[in-house]
Amino acid sequence: MLKKNDEIILTIDNMGNEGEGVARYQDFTLFVKDALPGDKIKAKVMKMKKTYGYARLLEVITPSKDRVIPKCEYARQCGGCQLQHASYESQLKFKEQKVINCLKRIGGIEDAASLMEPVIGMDYPWNYRNKAQFPVGLDKEGNVQIGFYAGHSHNIIDTDVCMIQDKANEKIVAVMRDLVRKNIEALRPYNEHTGEGILRHIITRVGAQTGEIMVCLVINSEDIDENVKSKLVDSLLAIKYSDNKKIVSISLNINRKKTNVIMGDSLKIIYGEDHITDYIKDVRYEISPMSFYQVNPVQTQKLYETALSYASLSGGENVWDLYCGIGTISLFLAKNAGHVIGVEIVAEAIENAKKNALINNIHNVDFHVGSAEDVVVKMYEKSGGLLAADVVVVDPPRKGCDAKLLDTIVKMSPQRIVYVSCDPATLARDVKILSESGYNLEKFRCVDMFGMGSHVETVCLLSKKP
């Protein structure tokens, strides 16, 4: 019987959902973070359950053919990247397989592999993220810590450098670190356990096409000291970038709750604009600190182009874009559609969406604030069952679509449903519901938005059964 602290030799033969290695040992399944299929390793058992357990990689005895040396010295500790030790090509294979497995096991789509179009990988899977959220804290000795959370914990790895972030962030973190140290009372790092302290997170976002940068400080206070505020603005604005990058917006987000949720509900602009601007292809978008915007701009264009091609619009269609954020997909589709209606729960994002339609001179779109399950279901009921759609696009958060919403979408009887998903398990659950309600999964394609990470984005086309 295996027990904690046993040291064993394992051959990894599979990859788990979060990119961890999976091995069989006697009658147990063992999950080993940082191990890859094909690795022969020495591991130490950390925790055992009845039929499975967790082990820690101690030594790679024979490396997998896919194993590479991580670029980042924190790759193993940091919770940001799960797959830096795997070749990029093998990361893409793993992601495809993960989606196929979910569609088969959860979705009941036996021939999933034959419906897949090849994954769209990144040309350069580094420095791609346009958004960073750095937690701020103090270590036991009282040193300021700014960086990233270690895997499955809230311990901060103190670093200015991250290989998957836009380089612009490094300078911002360095300046902020210095400012916090020198103004430790006014900017005292927040303590999650006691709820004391002021500065919780530093959030940055860069417009890939425009170079416009936003810095948003999440604070556990209504405001910060005026002197420190002006020093902060001056120091951030003094950052010199060699390319077209420039800070155009600095804000405070107020979050006084004892919670894991990073942002609070209110925002104060302390310098410049209340948004940054960016382009995806030729559509221009204004993005506020509290609105969702895809984190990988190069791949986002490919994702939206895939969604557009799956929607097969010919110009007159009545399209719904549910979970529309700042209207990115809605506006991307609008030029090829008759009319587009976007629905999104964050009011600020809908304000952005309406403005974005205006600045792009797009008039065949309407946006509604509210949860998709609420808004669409009510609109359908109010229409007496007449509300219809030719194409429905959904792009929900990880928990997938609400069952009530799926039911209403089916009643609206669209020819095509384009499902954009960031979680293959909930995607497969929803595909199962839709395929039991008159829709066929025609094809799907993964788009890698998260190189070095284990997450995967998928676009699916479902068509109404004849």
Stretch that binds ligand SAH, among 4-12, 73-81, 158-166, 371-379 (CB under 6 A): 371-379
Stretch that binds ligand SAH, among 13-21, 166-174, 270-278, 340-348 (CB under 6 A): 340-348
Tell me the C-alpha distance between 337 and 312, whole Å: 10
Q: Which two tokens stand for residue 296?
A: 């990988």
- Counting residues that bind ligand SAH (by CB under 6 A) gives 18
Tell me the C-alpha distance between 454 and 48, whole Å: 24
Q: Rule CB under 6 A: which of 148-207 touch ligand SAH?
A: none
Residue 290 interacts with ligand SAH (CB under 6 A)?
no
**Phi/psi of residue 67, nearest 5 degrees:** -75, 135
Contacts 24+ apart (CB under 8 A), 64-68: 64/12, 64/36, 64/37, 64/38, 64/39, 65/38, 66/36, 66/37, 66/38, 66/90, 67/36, 67/38, 67/39
Residue 323 interacts with ligand SAH (CB under 6 A)?
yes
Strand 156-158 relative to strand 116-120, pairing: unpaired
- 3-state secondary structure at position 411: helix
Strand 365-369 relative to strand 283-287, pairing: unpaired
Q: Measured from the CB of residue 278, what is the shortest distance to ligand SAH in angstroms? A: 11
Q: Compute how many other C-beta atoms are within 10 angstroms of the C-beta atom of residue 114.
A: 9
Residue 395 interacts with ligand SAH (CB under 6 A)?
yes
Residue 351 interacts with ligand SAH (CB under 6 A)?
no
Tell me the C-alpha distance between 100 and 104, whole Å: 6
Residue nearest to ligand SAH (CB): 325
Indicate the Cα dihedral angle 62, 119, 116, 318, nearest 10°: 150
Q: Rule CB under 6 A: which of 426-445 touch ligand SAH?
A: none
Residue 379 interacts with ligand SAH (CB under 6 A)?
no
- 3-state secondary structure at position 159: coil
Q: Which residue among 80, 107, 147, 325 contacts ligand SAH (CB under 6 A)?
A: 325
Stretch that binds ligand SAH, among 70-78, 153-161, 242-250, 318-326 (CB under 6 A): 318-326
Residue 298 interacts with ligand SAH (CB under 6 A)?
no
Residue 406 interacts with ligand SAH (CB under 6 A)?
no
Concerning whether 422 is annotated as a catalytic residue, the answer is yes
Q: Which residue among 345, 357, 418, 446 contacts ligand SAH (CB under 6 A)?
A: 345
Q: Measured from the CB of residue 214, what is the shortest distance to ligand SAH in angstroms? A: 16
- Catalytically annotated residue among 81, 422, 446, 460: 422
Q: How many residues does the chain have?
A: 466
Nearest to ligand SAH of 289, 325 (CB atom): 325
Element (H, E) at 202: strand 199-206
Stretch that binds ligand SAH, among 163-171, 214-222, 337-345, 355-363 (CB under 6 A): 337-345
Q: Compute how many other C-beta atoms are within 10 angstroms of the C-beta atom of residue 94.
A: 20
Residue 34 interacts with ligand SAH (CB under 6 A)?
no
Tell me the C-alpha distance between 5 and 28, whole Å: 15
Residue 459 interacts with ligand SAH (CB under 6 A)?
no
Residue 397 interacts with ligand SAH (CB under 6 A)?
yes
Q: Which residue among 87, 371, 415, 440 contacts ligand SAH (CB under 6 A)?
A: 371
Nearest to ligand SAH of 316, 397 (CB atom): 397
Q: How far apart are the first and last CA of the chain?
A: 55
**Phi/psi of residue 75, nearest 5 degrees:** -50, -40
Residue 329 interacts with ligand SAH (CB under 6 A)?
yes
Residue 108 interacts with ligand SAH (CB under 6 A)?
no
Q: 151: which strand partners?
A: none
Tell me the C-alpha distance between 266 and 253, whole Å: 6
Residue 380 interacts with ligand SAH (CB under 6 A)?
no
Q: Measured from the CB of residue 120, what is the shortest distance to ligand SAH in angstroms? A: 15
Instruction: Please identify every residue annotated as catalytic.
Output: 422
Binding site for ligand SAH (CB under 6 A): 292-294, 323-325, 328-329, 343-346, 349, 371-373, 395, 397
